[in-house]
């Protein structure tokens, strides 16, 4: 994947179509791929926290989610093809999943939010089987159980909607135990989808 460096963070230069093609191969590989949707807040978090920076360094793909990131790449003289917003990428992956019969797991947000988001996504993309739904309010005692339930579901896509500072380190720490192929932090997306 061609990348451009923004404060030491390697951001993909691919357009949406190329990004989906790369992630299609990631699903076929059955190996974990953490996708980080970079915006300026997350790059700041990485500059301030070693764990967030490590998640960025070890992510398999970082897409330019924020207009500020697209702007910075342009400013540093090595532009990206286009903005690849996380919310749009979620929908593009569900669309591709319709054609290829993928499964998805939704983790994060409040219980009624994630249930409603799952219902709406299932209606919009009926051929993507939603194999699990779990709210994002859990702590250390529940962590192993959450991981185990995802691992048993073996989803092609795992969307994680928690706050920006914790979702990426959590994914980075556990991606090899989750049994999911494409794992993407989607922040407040379930709130938007649930209306
Ligand atoms: N969230 C969660 N668990 C937490 C904290 C937040 O599931 O421990 C969810 C929250 O319900 C929302 C999403 O994460 O759906 C994004 O939260 P917020 O907007 O507070 O985070 P930000 O994107 O501002 O960092």
Which residue range(s) make up the domain with 123? 3-193
Element containing residue 44 per DSSP (H, E):
helix 40-48
Query: 113-125, pLDDT tens digit by residue?
Result: 999 999 999 999 9
Ligand 1 pocket member 185 (CB < 6 A): no
Mutation test of ligand 1: which of 37, 188, 192 has the most ligand atoms closer than 8 Å to its C-beta?
A: 188
Give the mutation target among 136, 142, 185, 194 for probing the ligand 1 site: most ligand atoms within 8 A of CB.
136
Q: What is the DSSP letter of 182?
A: E
| Closest C-alpha to ligand 1, atom 17 | 163
For ligand 1, the distance from its centroid to the CA atom of residue 193, given in whole angstroms, is 14
pLDDT band (50, 70, 90) for residue 165: confident
Chain centre distance of CA 31 = 15
Mean pLDDT of 172-179: 98
pLDDT class for 86, splitting at 50, 70, 90? Answer: very high
Residue 181: pLDDT over 90: yes
Q: Which protein residue's CA is at the shortest distance from atom 15 of ligand 1?
A: 109
What is the predicted pLDDT for the residue at 152?
98
Using CA atoms, how far apart are residues 160 and 193, in angstroms rounded to an integer? Answer: 14
How many distinct structural domains can be found in the chain?
Answer: 1
Q: Is pLDDT of 164 > 90? A: no
Provide the percentage of residues in the chain whose pLDDT is more than 90: 96
SS3 4: strand
CA distance linking residue 15 with residue 152, whole number of Å: 33
* Cβ contact 56:9 at 8 Å: yes
Query: Do residues 43 and 9 make contact, with C-beta atoms less than 8 angstroms apart?
Result: yes
């Amino acid at each position: 994947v061609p990348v451009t460096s923004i404060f030491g963070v390697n951001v993909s230069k691919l357009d949406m179509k190329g990004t989906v093609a790369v992630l299609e191969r990631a699903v076929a590989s059955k190996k974990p791929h953490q996708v980080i949707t970079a915006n300026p807040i997350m790059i700041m978090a990485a500059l301030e926290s070693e764990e967030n920076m490590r998640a960025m360094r070890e992510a398999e793909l970082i897409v330019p989610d924020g207009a500020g990131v697209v702007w910075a790449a342009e400013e540093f003289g090595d532009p990206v093809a286009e903005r690849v917003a996380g919310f749009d990428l979620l929908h593009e992956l569900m669309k591709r999943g319709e054609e290829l019969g993928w499964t998805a797991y939704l983790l994060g947000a409040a219980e009624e939010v994630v249930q409603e988001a799952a219902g709406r996504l299932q209606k919009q993309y009926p051929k993507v089987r939603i194999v699990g739904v779990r709210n994002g309010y859990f702590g250390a005692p529940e962590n192993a159980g959450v991981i185990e339930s995802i691992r048993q579901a073996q989803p092609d896509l795992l969307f994680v909607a928690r706050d920006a500072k914790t979702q990426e380190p959590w994914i980075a720490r556990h991606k090899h135990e989750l049994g999911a192929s494409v794992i993407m932090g989607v922040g407040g997306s379930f709130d938007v989808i649930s209306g």
